[in-house]
Amino acid sequence: MTSAALGAALNLTTQSWKGRLRPALARTDEGKALMATTVATDLGEATIPKTMRAVIAYAPHDYRLEEVDVPVPGPEEILVKVEACGICGSDGKVYKGAEMYWGGPLTPVGWVKAPVIPGHEFLGYVAALGPRAAEKHGVVVGDRVVADQIVPCERCRFCRRGQYWMCEVHNMFGFQTVVHGAWADYMKFPKEARVHKVPTEMPTEIAVLTEPVSCAVHAVERGRVEFGDVVVVSGTGPIGLAMVGLAHLKGPRTVIAVDINERRLELARKFGADLTINPRTTNAIAAVKELTGGYGCDVYLESSGNIVSINQGLQMLRRLGRFVEFSVFNEPALVDWSVIGDRKELDILGSHIGPYTYPITLDYLHRGLIRMDGVVTHMLPLEQFEEGINLVLDGSQSIKVALKP
């Protein structure tokens, strides 16, 4: 059988990139097995096999490295060879069994649908295309790509209104079995995925931060940072550090970073923080009040994931201030709502993922307008995923940990 006939039979479009895509092997398993191909990319030549390595999350603390089938791209779908994938703070919370993800007394239905391959901070190379995928997504084999973390249903009221990040179905890469993530050799972009090209010359250690930085862009936009504002960023992990740089670009009077990790505060100063505060050595609330003549900050961007930071922000904000909550927490937080309403009339703004922000994120990273050099502290092989998770959970020795299959 010819290569063209095999491709048609398997619903695969094999398109050359730099003339170097070569069909190498084909087998059918009820008409759905993947045709193995050899693709030459900037990562070197790699053959698409029938099976791959993948980390499977079965339950809290039950993650296993297994051999599974390589996914087959159907109509308008893309098979991607994973270049790298970050380990998010939320991945650590999932591993530990946070109720928000697995369900519990306050969350009857958990977000995670196991068994699932984790990983939503990814990038990779197009390895194969299903029928019409090239036309739909504007890519060819060999393109370096990322996709929005969420895979919108395109049918619910939010998707129909363009508010796809609030999709009622809410399938997210790495959390549900219908959209496995990137802690694997390969992953599949469904037809609904929002795909973006990544500049080939961008270093892996920067490009793998696309998703976290996109979240920071959205959060800073939600805070409506204005000229003359005093902006506080609480928590300087990867997303908080990006918030520092992005807030600085908005032209406020002062950007203040608050964290207990001096290594992260040092990076915050490099990335645009005018002042850094370690609450272990300085009363952060008093320091901000003193700086602002007793009023408090104008905008508080919460990215620490620590419930202590919530009440800190409510006390630190001036009247009519803007509080942006991005973090995910292990447990519910108790606050005095009278501070929000009767005392200060605050704007409390949620921030979820990074809708419509990937193009500007990639542009800013590519041009160096947002500095993220030094944020990726560990790039580990897939086999060391548990070490990576523990580094993230500990937090003292790492900033961003990523896996490189």
Helices and strands counted in the chain (H then E): 14, 20
> Within 10 Å of residue 319's Cβ, how many Cβ atoms?
10
Same domain? 86 vs 164: yes
Q: What pLDDT, on the 0 to 100 scale, is given for residue 108?
A: 82
pLDDT of residue 201 exceeding 90: yes
Same domain? 59 vs 156: yes
What type of residue is 11? N
Same domain? 25 vs 151: yes
Classify residue 365: in a domain, yes or no.
no
Classify residue 80: in a domain, yes or no.
yes
Using alpha carbons, select from 330, 333, 405, 380 the residue that is nearest to residue 60: 330
Classify residue 364: in a domain, yes or no.
no
Lowest mean pLDDT among 37-41, 62-66, 210-214, 382-386: 37-41
- The rounded mean pLDDT for the chain is 89
Same domain? 292 vs 318: yes
Residue 182 DSSP class: S
Query: Predicted confidence band at 210 (pLDDT cuts at 50, 70, 90)?
Result: very high
178: domain CATH number?
3.90.180.10
Classify residue 355: in a domain, yes or no.
no
Same domain? 164 vs 51: yes
Share of the chain above pLDDT 70, in %: 89
343: domain CATH number?
3.40.50.720
Query: Predicted confidence band at 85 (pLDDT cuts at 50, 70, 90)?
Result: very high
Classify residue 361: in a domain, yes or no.
no
Cα torsion 300, 301, 302, 304 to 10°: value is -120
Domain boundaries, position 116: 3-209+375-404
d(CA 111, CA 170): 9
Average pLDDT on 332-347 reads 94
pLDDT of residue 399 exceeding 60: yes
Query: 78 with 62: CB under 8 angstroms?
Result: no
pLDDT of residue 1 exceeding 80: no
Q: Which residues contact 251 (CB under 8 A, 6 or more apart)?
A: 227
Same domain? 200 vs 225: no
Classify residue 45: in a domain, yes or no.
yes
Q: Count of domains in the chain?
A: 2
Q: How do beta strands 254-258 and 347-350 pair? A: unpaired
Same domain? 49 vs 120: yes
Same domain? 308 vs 337: yes
pLDDT of residue 25 exceeding 70: no
Classify residue 289: in a domain, yes or no.
yes
Average pLDDT on 133-138 reads 98
Same domain? 89 vs 238: no
DSSP letter string over 103-163?
--SS-SS-S--SSB----EEEEEEEEE-TTHHHHHT--TT-EEEE-SEE--S-SHHHHTT-
DSSP letter string over 281-319?
TS-HHHHHHHHTTTS-EEEEEE-S--THHHHHHHHHEEE
Q: What pLDDT, on the 0 to 100 scale, is given for residue 162?
A: 97
Average pLDDT on 72-82 reads 97
Using alpha carbons, select from 183, 161, 156 the residue that is nearest to residue 171: 156
Same domain? 55 vs 118: yes
Same domain? 160 vs 241: no
CA 166 to chain centre: 16
Classify residue 360: in a domain, yes or no.
no
Query: Predicted confidence band at 11 (pLDDT cuts at 50, 70, 90)?
Result: very low
- Burial classification of residue 127, based on how many CB atoms lie within 10 Å of its CB (0-12 exposed, 13-18 middle, 19 or more buried): buried
Same domain? 131 vs 235: no
Q: What pLDDT, on the 0 to 100 scale, is given for residue 55?
A: 98
User: Domain boundary at 334, 350, 366, which?
Assistant: 350
pLDDT of residue 23 exceeding 80: no
What type of residue is 194? R
